[in-house]
Structures are given as structure tokens and as C-alpha cells.
Amino acid sequence: MFAGKSNHIHPCEVVGLAIVHQYAFALRHGAWRLAATWMSLLMVAMLITLASKLAFIGWGVGYAPLDFTGVSGHAMMAGAVVPLALVSVWPTRSWQARRGVAGIGLVLALLVGISRVVVGAHSWSEVLAGCLLGIMVTAIVVSRYGLPQARPSRSPLAAWCLPVVCLIGLSAVLAASSSFSSHTRITRLPLALAGHALPYTRADMARDFKRRSTTGARAGS
């Protein structure tokens, strides 16, 4: 979990993705309620993900048997963003075609989660939790509004001004990514609240679990 800066949710990345996909949803005329619902659910999922990480860093809230230290933010974002965003920008006319595109988006989201395990950033349990949380966001939006259909917006504001905003947002993401330390920002708060000098780590969890297992075995013998 603490192998490197890329293992954490980058707030600027979240803002950039939110801006881009808010516009993608707005490409469908009358989809502003869909976009607002999606953004609200995404914020809730982000808070759950962040809370799980803070709880582990500050108080050691995890589950050693499953090597769980918190919800994978990358897997959650992929599950919540990729399927709907892909459908909203892929020009399709039929429900079957949009459903197929959404399926492709789900596969891509799962591949993102698998990649987090491959690079050693997360365990399978953390990726599974992230994927389920993100896909739940997608499922709620689809159940309420259906799959969005991409077509040109009638609003000049959406057609001309929002792409500029998207460009500015993405530029801000790229500019900030080289200097912003999400690791420091994320760990500072729980450490201050818990009164600890160092963050709780995956190695600490494994050590404490082994110690408890050994103590329990001795007590039972």
C-alpha cells in the first residue's frame, strides 16, 4: 500500500476525470440529472474508499487473512467511470449496441483492477472491493436512467465552452502530478487524529496477525 505515490488516489486525477466525464454525460441532451446522480454517487464511493485507507493508516483497521488494507481507489474509479463514460461517447443507436459497449467498459475496468495486483499495489481482496464499489455506482445510475446515448448537444455552452474547461482541467492534472504528494496528504490526517508518528503498514498488519496467531496457539496448547 505504501510502495509508491502511484498507489494512492490522486485528488487532481479525480477532479480531472470528473470534469471530463461530466461533459461526456452532458453530450446527451437532457442528461444533466444523470450526470449529477453519477457525480454524487462517485463522491460517496470516493469517501468510502478514502475512509478505508485512513482507518488502516491511522488505526490499523484491516483484515490480515485476506491481506485487506483498504479499498483500491483505481479499481473503484475504473468500475464507476469507464463503462458509462465509454457508452456516453461511443455513437450507438440501439440498446443492444450500448449494452455491448458497456460490457467492453466493464472488461476494461476489471483489467485495471487486475493490473493493480500485477504491479503489487493491491491485493485481490482490495481490488475486488474496489471493483464492486465502482460497479455498484454504475449499476445504480443505469437502473435509474438507462445507458446514455451519445449525440451532439443543442447547448452552445456545452458544445464550445465545456471542452475548454476539460482541457484546462486535464492540464491542471498533468501540471500537478509531478509535484503533488498524495501519500503525504493522505497519511497526515489519520496520523494526527490517532496520535501516531508513523503510518500503519501492510507489514505491520502481517506481523501483528502472526503474533496473535502464535499467542493464540500457545494459549490453546
Rounded Cα gap, residues 73 and 167, in angstroms: 24
pLDDT at 179 over 60: no
Long-range contacts of 202-209 (CB under 8 A, 24+ apart): 202/1, 202/2, 202/67, 202/69, 204/60, 205/56, 205/60, 205/62, 205/64, 205/69, 206/64, 206/67, 208/60, 208/64, 209/64, 209/65
* pLDDT score of 9: 46
* pLDDT score of 3: 39
More confident residue, 81 or 9: 81
* pLDDT score of 197: 85
Residue pLDDT, tens place only, 38-51: 888 988 998 999 99
In 3D space, the residue among 40, 73, 38, 78 whose CA is nearest the CA of residue 54 turns out to be 73
* pLDDT score of 28: 52
Q: What is the percent of the chain where pLDDT is above 90?
A: 38
End-to-end Cα distance, the chain = 35
Highest mean pLDDT among 1-5, 13-17, 64-68, 71-75: 64-68
* pLDDT score of 70: 95
Rounded Cα gap, residues 221 and 219, in angstroms: 6
Residue type, 149: Q
Q: Is 20 exposed, middle or buried (0-12, 13-18, 19+ CB in 10 A)?
A: buried
More confident residue, 112 or 18: 112
Highest mean pLDDT among 2-6, 87-91, 164-168: 87-91
Residue pLDDT, tens place only, 55-85: 999 999 999 999 999 999 889 988 998 888 8
* pLDDT score of 164: 55
* pLDDT score of 27: 54
